[in-house]
A and B are shown apart, each in its own frame.
Chain A
């Protein structure tokens, strides 16, 4: 069964550094998402992306975050100038379409640790 793959599985970064999290969505999917889960808390929506632009973003997704689809297969989340509170598990997801009856399929996540 096709999967969403995320790399790396664990990223350790010094506070203030830039980090790029990578995702390969399922190949025929057109909608892409990033979520995060701080340890012990709920999974939170960050951003959705369709047709090479952001379609929706949360208030968490401020100017330090950006997303990009640099080629036909990868989908990246960049965090500029990381803070301690950015430490979390980051999940990428994709779906065939948006909205009704379109399940989102998740990767195994990247655990980001900011020191």
Chain B
């Protein structure tokens, strides 16, 4: 059974810092690894999807990497801004379903 873990659970940084969020998964037989953003009381916004055959994906200030053999993914956020404050979720996809981690709550202070 797939288990997804995210560390840290919460992170508070000053504006402008580069930061790394970590995600680990127990079953390496995945199709994709997807990163989401969730604002309080809102839905999930897809940020990046990495296929199992890929090593990384980039979108603007976001870069996600995947090491399937070790069961790890990282989300790198460059030059953080107060608007980046949200909960970041990673989800591993095997078959049709996504298995989610508990998320990292990010606060960027101005």
Interface set of A (CB-CB < 8 Å, partner B):
4, 6, 31, 33, 35, 41-45, 48, 50, 55-56, 58, 91, 93, 98-109, 111
A107-B43 in contact given A33-B96, A56-B96 (Cβ < 8 Å)? yes
Query: Which A-B residue pairs are the 8 nearest by beta carbons?
Result: A108-B43, A48-B96, A45-B97, A106-B44, A43-B100, A103-B49, A56-B96, A100-B31
Q: Does B28 contact A (CB under 8 A)?
A: no
A55-B96 in contact given A101-B32, A103-B34 (Cβ < 8 Å)? yes
User: Per DSSP, are chain B's interface residues mostly helix, strand or loop, or mixed?
Assistant: strand
Contact present for A45 and B99 (CB under 8 Å): yes
Interface set of B (CB-CB < 8 Å, partner A):
31-32, 34, 36, 41-46, 49, 51-52, 89, 91, 93, 95-103
Task: Tell me, in angstroms, the Cα distance from A44 to B97 when the chains sit together.
Answer: 9
